[in-house]
Amino acid sequence: MRMHLRDYTRAIDVPHYTCAISPGKHCPLFGVGIVFQGMAGVTLIYIGPQDCVYYAQTDTLLRQLAYVRSDGPQVRTLAVQLSDSDLIFGIRPQLEKLLEKEAQREDTNAVFLVTSCSVEVLSEDLQGTVDAVAARTGKKIALIPIENFKTFSYFEGTEKALAALTTELKPMPRQEKSFAVLGARKHGADESEPVRWLMEKGYTLQSILPYETNSEKVNHLPEVAFTLVLEGCGLEVAKQLERDYGIPYVRFDRRLDLQHVVQAWRELSVLVGEDREEWIEEQLCEVRQMEEVVSAKVSGTTFFYNQTTIYPFEACLFLSRLGMEPLCIFQGSVRDKEADARLALAERANPVLWQNANQSALRAMLEEQLPDYFVGATGGIIREYPVLAFSFPTGRVGAGFEYYKTCLRRILAAKKMEGKR
């Protein structure tokens, strides 16, 4: 059964085109390791059935090998497989023993227990177990519950892990000219537009969470004057730090909504105490000129959207405002945090919605209705169809007017695929 945009209820209700979905990376278990890569003094314990814990542990270990600063101490990663008897008789005694053993290791500062969805069938009070061992050992021991039998986004795991990592921090004196970046999963945050400007003004970048941080930097997060949210997985942590420590945050994660880009820069200007209105107006003038050029080229065209790590409805609304019509949206790992972009897009178009597309789903939809443009990965079967293809940049963390203009250039540089079919 198909769902169109105007029939949308919840992200979890958006159907798959095929019953078979790509295994693994859609699961929140795989988002946890992103947070703890390079975190010395931490033990990460995955608990669940064999396949879940094996692949989650393997993914975490591979991330450590690929981590840019992998020459130092790394997070200790364990996989605990549940047996049939565990599911019947419970696991509390064995789990308490394991947690205590790990907490008592000389080089362990914190232990994080990550549960897979199968643990949901147990009647064990895992939070109570974790709290009891933490009280006895005096070490930080936290539960990261990934208990949902219908999961489509690994970012859920990233957000839960960030929340567990940043709870119960001690209040510290404020360092007035320091800030932290939240949500950045890849390199490039230190070179993004707002971060460059702050560092030119003499501000100190305290940490980039989760991409580049360590236990000491996390413990000192309450010192920063404010935080910048560059990607959506850092938003809840920013709210938590504001609620618990009074640290304000500025959202630069709404990267393809020009109004929010302007708002973010104005909020940052107020925090820093510098009037940037003239510069903002200059940027807006340049953006509007670029939009006119892009709109003249793409107005009246259609597109399929399959970009997995950018807010999908916001991105499609951005393209719609340039005159393009979405025919099909494949939702990926990232979900829009607010409903405003979806509602605004629904007033302009009513595309088909599918969840986490695999190659067969893409092929079936392309055979059914061929768009003028395809937005997403430009390899694989897309090369077989005569469409113009481009993708928004996701390899480096970008933000502000700079990112917005880069996306406009990507549209102009769209390449015609070979179209063998």
> What CATH number should be reported for the domain holding residue 33?
3.40.50.1980
Q: Are 240 and 350 contained in the same domain?
A: no
Same domain, 76 and 41: yes
Residue 375 counted as domain residue: yes
Q: What is the pLDDT of residues 233-258, one digit of tens each?
A: 999 999 999 999 999 999 999 999 99
Task: Mark whether 144 and 236 lie in a shared domain.
Answer: no
Q: With respect to residue 279, please indicate whether it lies within any of the assigned structural domains.
A: no
Alpha-carbon distance of 80 to 49, in angstroms, equals 8
Domain shared by 366 and 410, yes or no: yes
Judge if 181 and 104 occupy the same domain.
no
Does residue 77 share a domain with residue 13?
Answer: no
Are 320 and 379 found together in one domain? yes
pTM score, whole prediction: 0.91
Angstrom distance (rounded) from CA 18 to CA 154: 20
Give yes or no for a contact between 67 and 37, defined as CB atoms under 8 angstroms apart: yes
Q: φ and ψ at 255, to 5 degrees?
A: -75, -25
**12 & 33 share domain:** no
Instruction: Report which secondary-structure segment, H or E, holds 405.
Output: helix 400-412
Given 118, 151, 184, the domain boundary residue is 151
Structural domain of 53: 29-151
Considering 100, 118, 151, which residue would you say is the last residue of a domain? Answer: 151
- How many structural domains does the chain have? 3
Decide if pLDDT at 23 tops 90.
no
pLDDT at 1 over 80: no
User: Within a domain: residue 162?
Assistant: no
**Per-residue pLDDT averaged across 157-175, rounded?**
91
For residue 220, being part of any structural domain is answered with yes
pLDDT for residue 25: 62
Alpha-carbon gap, residue 17 to 394, rounded angstroms: 25
198-207: long-range contacts at Cβ-Cβ below 8 A with a sequence spacing of 24 or more? 198/268, 198/272, 201/272, 201/274, 202/177, 203/177, 203/178, 203/179, 203/272, 204/175, 204/177, 204/178, 204/179, 205/178, 205/179, 205/180, 205/181, 206/175, 206/178, 206/179, 206/180, 207/180, 207/181
User: Is 277 part of any domain?
Assistant: no
**pLDDT at position 19, please?**
66
Tell me if 157 is assigned to some domain.
no
The answer on 304 and 203 residing in a single domain is: no
**Residues 49, 104 within the same domain:** yes
Residue 381 lies in a domain: yes
> Considering the chain, what percentage of its residues have pLDDT values greater than 70?
93
DSSP string, 281-292: HHHHHHHHHHHH
Residues 117 and 207 in one domain: no
Domain boundary pick from 253, 284, 313: 253
Judge if 147 and 44 occupy the same domain.
Answer: yes
- Gyration radius from the chain CA atoms: 23
Is 77 a domain residue? yes
The model's pLDDT over 55-112, given as tens digits with 9 standing for 90+, comes to: 888 888 887 777 655 455 678 999 999 888 887 788 889 999 999 999 999 889 899 9
DSSP state for residue 268 in the 8-state scheme: H
